[in-house]
Amino acid sequence: MLKNIKILSGLSALAVAMLSTSFVSQADEVNVYSARKEALIKPVLDKFSKDTGIKVNLVTGKADALISRLNSEGQLSPADVLLTTDVGRLVRAKTQGVTQAIESEVLEGAIPAHFQDDDNHWFALTVRARPIMYSPERVDPKELSTIEALTDKKWKGRICIRSSSNIYNQSMVAAMIEQQGEAKVEAWAKDFVKNFARPPKGGDRDQIKAVVAGQCDIAIANTYYLGGMLESADSKEKAIAQQVNVFWPNQTDRGAHINISGAAVTAHAPNKTQAVKLIEYLARKDSQQWYASTNHEYPVLEGVEHSDTLKGFGQFKAETIPLYRVGELNAEAVKVMDKAGWK
């Protein structure tokens, strides 16, 4: 089982080679490194196995750690598929040489061009949106307009957001740089930071909770976090989520910032054919429907029904920049945030 590969770092090169060879011999298996938590991906992987007869061996972990792991394992890696979040990580994986180009008429035909790598190294599986969330008790939505307008002095001490080390924020800033230029975004970031209610800390759910607790009036967070809270079995978390509303910024110009989760075949995949079949399966309409209804992420395929929770957030115009540029501009985004004092 691939779960046992967690001890790879302590194995000798010979033992690793023997273990990797055992995976190569399993023609009806595919080995997956996933940054998605098991509960958010395993049901659809189980269905893939049932429908195809191909066994899926799953290892989950932190996104950046999995990329580092692929690097350290090199040619001896047993992994066939990398499932990860944020285009920045997919571009990073490609740049570091841990993914490979694949040929798939299914994927190229089904997934919109701006949601796939130009060299076919990665393909988006879901779309993630990062709008403004606000307290309807303390914020009139008529006051809101764009992310750029959050530098207005009226928002001083009223904004919660994650740290600059968070790749979701790095990608949001990178997308702004692509559309507006580094100098303009640097000026924006300096004024934006001045309006923070507190030093950035915690995850997206923590920003939402901070709004309800009165620590700030607005937050920037991914919608699937709010969706998960609204559908939570924890009544307290659900009650918190019900006290914030979603506002879609930049609807009269560039559109709201979006990102993706996606998949790639690893550079040394021992089961490449099965790996491609799995990614193609995850891009099918029924799989996309599962993502939308279970994870509350937006499908990449047209015509797939959204969950009622997503529908409740309303329709929105999304930015349409080439997503690979978001990954390529990551270093520039981090530099801009550092200069602005975004901790």
Ramachandran angles phi, psi of 36, nearest 5°: -80, 135
The domain covering 2-128+259-312 belongs, at the CATH homologous superfamily level, to Periplasmic binding protein-like II (3.40.190.10)
Q: Residue 92: what residue type? A: R
Please indicate, yes or no, whether the overall pTM of this predicted structure exceeds 0.95.
no
* Residues 196-232: tens digit of each pLDDT: 999 999 999 999 999 999 999 999 999 999 999 999 9
What pLDDT does residue 27 have? 61
* Residues 257-302: tens digit of each pLDDT: 999 999 999 999 999 999 999 999 999 999 998 888 888 899 999 8
Q: Enumerate residues 6+ apart whose C-beta is below 8 A from 205.
A: 221, 225, 228, 229, 237
Question: 330-339 and 182-194 helices cross at what angle (nearest 10)?
Answer: 40
Alpha-carbon distance of 208 to 212, in angstroms, equals 7
What pLDDT does residue 295 have? 84
* Residues 1-58: tens digit of each pLDDT: 444 333 333 433 333 333 343 344 346 999 999 998 888 889 999 999 999 999 999 9
Tell me the DSSP string of 41-65: THHHHHHHHHHH--EEEEEE--HHH
Alpha carbon 150 to its chain's center? 24
In the predicted model, is pLDDT for residue 114 greater than 80?
A: yes
* Residues 143-159: tens digit of each pLDDT: 999 999 999 999 999 99
In the predicted model, is pLDDT for residue 81 greater than 70?
A: yes
What pLDDT does residue 26 have? 47
Q: Do domains 2-128+259-312 and 129-257+316-339 have the same CATH topology?
A: yes
Secondary structure element (H or E) that encloses residue 326, with its range? helix 323-328
Alpha-carbon distance of 172 to 154, in angstroms, equals 22
In the predicted model, is pLDDT for residue 66 greater than 90?
A: yes
Beta pairing partners, 218: 134, 159
* Cβ–Cβ < 8 Å for 68, 257: no
Is CATH 3.40.190.10 what the domain over 129-257+316-339 is classified as, yes or no? Answer: yes
* Cβ–Cβ < 8 Å for 51, 280: no
Report the share of the chain in percent with pLDDT over 90: 83
Alpha-carbon distance of 119 to 122, in angstroms, equals 8
Tell me the DSSP string of 229-264: HHT-S-HHHHHHHTT-EEE---TTTT-B-EEEEEEE
Give domain limits for the chain.
2-128+259-312, 129-257+316-339
What pLDDT does residue 290 have? 87
What pLDDT does residue 5 have? 35
DSSP secondary structure letter of residue 79: -
Spatial CA neighbour of 189 closest among 205, 201, 177, 179: 177
Tokens of 193: 């930071």
